[in-house]
Amino acid sequence: MTDTEYKDTLLKYLAQYINAVRRRRSLEHRLRAICREMDMPIGGIHYSPVNSSSGGISSGSAAFTLRKSEIESRIAEQKRQAEADILSVMDILDYLDPNSEGRQILEYKYIDGFTWFVISKKMYLSRPQCFRKRDKALANLLEYKRVQKILEDYAAQKQAPGV
């Protein structure tokens, strides 16, 4: 891998936790929407007090229930993935000095999910200064052979078919 490829792979590797959290939040939003839909009366305007149902579950409510169950399973899987991802990201960040500004910037960005605007305000730095400190921290991480090996394995895994 070239230096640029290592840096790009490292950025993707660090972003995997926050991406997993975003996917989980999206699924939770979808689940809430389905639950709201299930709680709303179907055809409330044309309500008839006479039960004309054949006694079975309507295909609409069954579909909602199955969809809800599927999304709940996906949320649980996404939570497990996020837990694994944060451990991976923190393992990489442990190579940096715990008190360094670069590490703090990387944690704000890739663990807390803050925007660059928020990071620059929290760090009392301009955005370009934040980018320079981030790039210096990334360069420090890439000096470690173990980090390079992790990134090579990660890139190979992402290129494997079915992933």
Dump pLDDT digits (tens) for 10-23. 999 999 999 999 99
pLDDT at 47 > cutoff 60: no
pLDDT at 71 > cutoff 90: no
> What is the structure's pLDDT at 57?
46
Per residue in 77-118, pLDDT (tens digit) is 888 989 999 999 999 999 999 999 999 999 999 999 999 999
pLDDT category at 56 given cuts 50, 70, 90 is very low
> What is the structure's pLDDT at 32?
86
Tokens of 127: 């955005």
State the Cα–Cα distance between residues 106 and 81, nearest whole angstrom: 20
Per-position b or e across 29-59, b if 16+ CB within 10 A of its CB:
eebeebeeeeeeeeeeeeeeeeeeeeeeeee
pLDDT at 42 > cutoff 90: no
Tokens of 62: 């069954």
pLDDT at 51 > cutoff 90: no
Per residue in 141-158, pLDDT (tens digit) is 999 999 999 999 999 988
Q: Where are the domains of the chain?
A: 3-41+58-159
State the Cα–Cα distance between residues 151 and 157, nearest whole angstrom: 10
> What is the structure's pLDDT at 72?
87
| Residues in Cβ contact with 3 at an 8 Å cutoff, skipping those fewer than 6 apart | 142
